[in-house]
Chains A and B, each alone.
Chain A
Amino acid sequence: MDKDTYAVALKNTLIEIRKICPDVSCSFIFTKDGTIIAGDPEANEETMEKTVDSFQSITEKADPIGGLQALLIDGEKGKVHLSRVNDMYLALAASKNADTIFLQAVTRLIVPTVLKLLESITPTPIPIQSAPSKQLVVDTLSGFFAGDSVQIDVETLTQWSEILNRKNIDDVEIEAFGGKTAKCKVKEINDPKLKGKGIIRMPEKIGKALEVKKGELVRVKPTAT
């Protein structure tokens, strides 16, 4: 079965679901890497893309709960359920009073059954490897020679190089408590007194961008290539 036929089969499934449950106002299916596979005729392309972007922003941070299986948003006027179905995700928007049991049946039975049937004759997406991360304490680099790079222990950089099979780790992504993120160049800590203390030394302007101060914790990981 080619990709178009696969998408048509899924689109028809979503249309049938809406016929059975008129409370469902919109539905679509996308892959783990964000590719939208199929949507019902009410699914606006911009809405689907923005939803997938928002969903993926959480997925990237969901390791502490064992990856994201589902996101349920209950609003004043309606609800949106995004649920993992096999290797894909199903998004359903429904009215406030939509039958939750029916929605669960759709998520857990109908769509998985259709996907299983289709996947038995088409390949599934390849999972993406995530980079390791570390919690480090912020130390401020100030002065004329502060530069634009952050500094962390060479042991950490070596460990990441080995895990990711990369010669060097040149850039890192930093996430702060408040959700701010920054990507910047990284070097090893050059002050021997500060080595092995689990700190990240960062220029003041990076600290300001992340809204963090000396002594606060941040999460650091190598940027994806």
Chain B
Amino acid sequence: MPAKTKPKKEIENVQENLKNIKNIEGIIGYLLRGPNSASIDLKDPTKIIDYAVLSASAFEAGNDISKEFDIGEVDTIVLEGEDTKVLSMTLIDHRLSIFMEKKVDHNKLCKDLDLT
């Protein structure tokens, strides 16, 4: 997925905003992977690998499907499960996945976290 042209300062702001994300009702946690590091904050740490693998698959599949249908650079990928969903996006060279309950308005969350 091509990186967006947001300045690095904005990434730092996002990282700062993510620190308190679990206080938002319905948020399960997040994974933020950079080229050399990863920030992880999940309510259930036993699921770190499961969520990380799912997140990596979402980016890979999102990219592949985007190419197949020629829809251009991917803005967001949303995976919906039975009662949980995942919002994934690329911010410069970081890959962010936020895990939340299905009832959470992810569009509003994007705005609140300054991700749009």
Q: Within 8 Å of chain B (Cβ to Cβ): is A6?
A: no
Q: How far is the CA of A73 from the CA of B79 in the complex (A)?
A: 9
Other-chain contact of B80, A64, A68, A78, A93 (Cβ < 8 Å): A68
Q: Mark A129-143, 1 if CB is under 8 A from B, else 0.
A: 000000100000000
Would you call B71 and A79 a contact (CB within 8 A)?
A: yes
Determine whether the beta carbon of A62 is less than 8 Å from that of B81: yes
Q: A54-B61, A219-B53 are in contact. Are A65 and B81 (CB under 8 A)?
A: yes
A71 touches B71 (CB 8 A): no
**Total cross-chain contacts (CB, 8 A):** 141
Bound form: Cα–Cα A72–B78 in Å? 5
* Beta-carbon contact of B80 and A72 below 8 Å: yes
> Known contacts A73-B71, A73-B74, A78-B69: does B81 contact A61 (CB below 8 Å)?
no
A26 to B79 CA separation, bound complex (whole angstroms): 20
A64 pairs with B61, CB closer than 8 A: no
Classify chain B: how many residues form its interface, as a range. 35 or more
Return the contact of A80 from the options B69, B73, B81, B99 (Cβ within 8 A).
B69
Binds B, one of A13-21, A115-123, A149-157, A173-181: A173-181
Contact (A57, B60) CB under 8 Å given A65-B82, A177-B52, A217-B49: yes
Selected from B49, B73, B83, the residue in CB contact (under 8 A) with A76 is B73
- A178 and B56 form a contact (CB under 8 A): yes
Chain A nearest CB, measured from B77 CB (Å): 5
Find out whether the CB atom of B64 lies under 8 angstroms from the CB atom of A67: no
Q: Which of B54, B65, B77, B83 has the most CB of A within 10 A?
A: B65
A84–B86 Cα distance when bound, in Å, is: 16
Least CB distance, B107 to chain A, in whole angstroms: 10
CB closest chain-A residue, reference B2: A76
Among B54, B66, B74, the residue within 8 A (CB) of A64 is: B54
CB nearest neighbor in B for A220: B49
Given A58-B58, A177-B49, A80–B65 Cβ distance below 8 Å?
yes
Within 8 A of A (CB), among B63-112: 64-66, 68-86, 99
**Cβ contact of B84, chosen from A26, A66, A96, A177, cutoff 8 A:** A66
Give the 5 A-B CB pairs with smallest separation, nearest first.
A65-B81, A66-B82, A179-B56, A75-B71, A76-B72
Residues of B within 8 A of A (CB): 46-54, 56-58, 60-62, 64-66, 68-86, 99
Report A's interface with B, CB cutoff 8 A. 25-26, 47, 50-51, 54-55, 57-58, 61-80, 93, 96, 135, 175-179, 217-219
